[in-house]
Amino acid sequence: MIRTATPADIPVIHTLIRELAEYEKAPQEARATEEQLREALFGDHPAAYAHIAADDTTGEPVGFALWFLNFSTWRGVHGIYLEDLYVRPTARGAGHGKALLTELARLCVARAYGRLEWSVLDWNRPAIDFYESLGARPQDEWTVYRLTDEALTGLGTA
């Protein structure tokens, strides 16, 4: 069962983000607060959106997808950038991850968005195999760059 997140889901989204950070071996990087998530997802000007995967029997949240719109200058249309996709280990293999991606693909098709894209850690072979089984292909010719912390502040105050 996939549903659009509501403000009541903020605590579970926050918990799932922390679990994902642990899985990705970077718990110290997950610094977002519940209040920041509430503002980003449900404030006056939402910056991101989320869907919840719930257990079909209990209705308990077992995963989430958090995404935002991007824009392709080459295609001239929006796309979805999937920031986080996470399913709890105890719920993996039951189709929740595929259902979340299917829902985002449906949104893309319904809204005439040109792409659904995301990043995956190069060591996460189970995720890579899963994504490729759905037809996703790596963009080998691109390298992601990022400015954060001191480098971002230094450049932004130069």
3-state helix, strand, coil in the chain (%, to 5): 40, 20, 35
**116-118: strand order across its sheet:** 2-4, 49-54, 61-72, 77-87, 116-118
Q: Which residues are catalytic?
A: 131
**CB proximity list for 42: less than 8 A, separation 6 or greater:** 7, 10
